[in-house]
Each structure stands twice: as structure tokens, then as C-alpha cells.
Amino acid sequence: MRKFLASLLEVFEIALVAVASVFLVRTFLVQPFVVSGSSMVPNFENGDYLLVDELTYRFRTPERGEVVVFRYDGNPFTYLIKRIIGLPGERVRIKNNKIEVVPLSGEPFMLEEKYLAPGVVTGGDAEYVLSDSEYFVLGDNRSFSFDSRNWGGLPTKNVVGIARIRLWPLPQIKAFTSPQYNQ
């Protein structure tokens, strides 16, 4: 009987350590995310299983071109995935299917988006001025994306993390890097 209780206690200890480890990793380091919808096609497809890095943004701010997962302000239980186009305090102009960014300091520049599928256009002529705590985000599949063109800037507090790794489907496992822009 004593051996049985010792074995049971050992199993309980292992289970407790495993649950605590999973809790700490999911709360502070990475979180799984399943892409739902076609707003990020061709770079992210419906059903892609991603790992979202929640730690990086504790040490630095998000950068232009990074793909972020965030809570949608209209429903905090809804998570969306989009690409950062404009940074806090910047002005973003969309005109003739081109995006011009006016940074806080420096010269305005046209955004070259080599990650977009051929023929994708950014519709609408509009100008957005971001506050010091907002990002401008767009989906890569502009015609089918619900993004900052619809609801304005993304509050910094809503950003969960950066999409780092696609784990599913297996043939498309990939680690993601941010594009480099000519600024």
C-alpha cells in the first residue's frame, strides 16, 4: 500500500509541474492561434495554426511590417491577425491604391509591399492620423480584410503578440520574419 501511495504522489507531482509549466508558458511566452478567414491570404491561410510570441513586446514596441495578433476593440473576445503598416503618431495616406506613410520625423515614403499577391490593391482614398498609442493595421488580402480602414487605429493595449511560427499544415511549417521597407 505504501508503494502505491508513493507512486500516486509522484504522478500527482509530475502532473502539477506539467500544468504549472503549461500555464506559465501560455500566459507569458507563447500562445497558439488558429487563423480564421481569408484576410491574410496568401501569407496566412484559413486554418493555419500559429504560435504567437507574447514576450517580445514586453521589451520593445511593434515594428512596421510585423504580423500581430490582437483583441478587436469591438469585441474583446475576438482575436484578429493583421500586418502593421503605420506606427504611433504617424499619418497614413491611401490614394490611387498606394500607401504613403508620413513618419513623425523624416520624409514621407511610399510603402513597397512585396509580400502582397500580384494584383492586390488597397482600395479607397483616405488619410488616417494615429495617436501616440495606436497602430494602423491591414490584412494582406485587402479586398477581404476588416482592418484599420474600417475601424481606425489599433490601440497598443490590444496587441497580444507577434506571429512567429506556423506549425500547421505540416508542409508549410515556417518561421516568419518582418519585411524590410525602403524608408
Active site residues: 39, 82
Q: What CATH number did the domain enclosing 26 receive?
A: 2.10.109.10
Kindly state whether residue 43 falls inside one of the protein's structural domains: yes
Q: How many C-beta atoms lie closer than 10 Å to residue 62's C-beta?
A: 22
Kindly state whether residue 10 falls inside one of the protein's structural domains: yes
Kindly state whether residue 21 falls inside one of the protein's structural domains: yes
Is the pLDDT score of 74 beyond 70?
yes
List of residues 6+ apart from 48 with CB closer than 8 A: 34, 35, 166, 168, 169, 172
Q: Tell me, what's the pLDDT at 84?
A: 95
Is the pLDDT score of 90 beyond 60?
yes
Domain range for residue 87?
2-175
pLDDT digits (tens, 9 = 90+) for 121-165: 887 788 899 999 999 999 888 888 888 888 889 999 999 899 887
In the sheet where 98-102 sits, what is the strand order?
109-110, 98-102, 91-95, 126-129
Q: Which of 72-86, 93-107, 162-176 has the lowest mean pLDDT?
A: 162-176
Q: Which three cell numbers stand for residue 183?
A: 524608408
Q: Tell me, what's the pLDDT at 96?
A: 85
Kindly state whether residue 168 falls inside one of the protein's structural domains: yes
In this structure, what DSSP letter does residue 109 have?
E
pTM of the model: 0.80
Kindly state whether residue 7 falls inside one of the protein's structural domains: yes
Q: Which three cell numbers stand for residue 31?
A: 500562445
Which has more confidence, 178 or 99? 99
CA distances in angstroms from 39 to 1, 36, 108, 109, listed in the order given: 60, 9, 27, 25
pLDDT digits (tens, 9 = 90+) for 18-66: 666 566 555 555 677 877 888 888 888 888 888 888 888 889 999 999 9
Q: How many domains does the structure of the chain reveal?
A: 1
Q: Tell me, what's the pLDDT at 135?
A: 95
